[in-house]
Amino acid sequence: MDQEKTGALIRALRAQRGLTQKALAEAVGVGDKAVSKWERGLGCPDVSLLPELSRVLGVGLEALLSGRLDANDQERGNMKKLKFYVCPDCGNFIAAAVEAAVSCCGRTLLPLEPQKPEELLSVEKIDDSWFISSPHPMTKEHYISFTALLTGDTLFLRRLYPEWDLQTRIPCFGHGILLWYCTRHGLFRQII
């Protein structure tokens, strides 16, 4: 941890939030002299204070430790480049336009790379929607948790549940990429 960089970041984030040194100190349970010391690069926050300091300043622990915020390049591509993150513990899933620092249940999540499946989901166009089905097992331990259709400007996602048949409809926005996540085997894709 570079004390000067971390201190400069703490000072900048505190100012952005409109906090005085005293207000920040009270929020994390230290004296205002400690905050002043950190901001001047003469010391670092105790490790036990980092989670609360991170929460109050609205920044991740990694940013505090590195002393810098890493901004993503603005994505001007299409929705087909979305990144999906899935928590292996709780099943939470997150989609982001560009790679992001994502964590859930105490784990850092990495973006999933969609694979080509050995067996495709069945997709039929019925009226104005895609009817998606599969004989895939839908047990509590092994099931498809979501299906999503990505087109150039649209993401439509359906949450699926264990012990229900895999049958769902997604509005037909034209052709695109159908993605689905199997809790045991990962993220898959097929063109529809």
Q: Are residues 146 and 56 in the same domain?
A: no
User: Is residue 110 located within the same domain as residue 150?
Assistant: yes
The enclosing domain of 84 has a CATH number of: 2.60.40.730
Indicate the residue among 45, 66, 87 that finishes a domain.
66
State mean pLDDT over 32-59: 91
Residue identified by tokens 């901004």 is: 71
Q: Is residue 25 part of a domain?
A: yes
Q: Same structural domain for residues 89 and 62?
A: no
Q: Which domain holds residue 33?
A: 3-66
Statement: residue 21 has pLDDT above 70 = yes
Given 43, 66, 89, which residue is the final one in a domain? 66
Residue 106 sits in the same domain as residue 186: yes
Assigned token pair, 14: 């505190």
* Predicted structure pTM score: 0.66
Tokens of residue 56, six digits = 């109050």
Report residue 166's pLDDT band, with 50, 70 and 90 as the boundaries.
Answer: very high
Phi, psi for 36 (deg, rounded to 5): -60, -40
Contacts for 157 with CB less than 8 Å, ≥ 6 apart = 95, 146, 147, 148, 149
Q: Is residue 172 part of a domain?
A: yes
Q: Supply the CATH number for residue 16's domain.
A: 1.10.260.40
Do 187 and 92 share a structural domain?
Answer: yes
pLDDT at 110: 93
Question: How do residues 170-191 score in pLDDT, each as one tens digit?
Answer: 998 878 899 999 999 999 999 9
One domain, residues 61 and 156: no
User: Does residue 72 lie in a domain region?
Assistant: no
Report the chain's mean pLDDT, rounded to a whole number.
Answer: 89
Per-residue confidence at 65, pLDDT binned at 50, 70, 90? confident
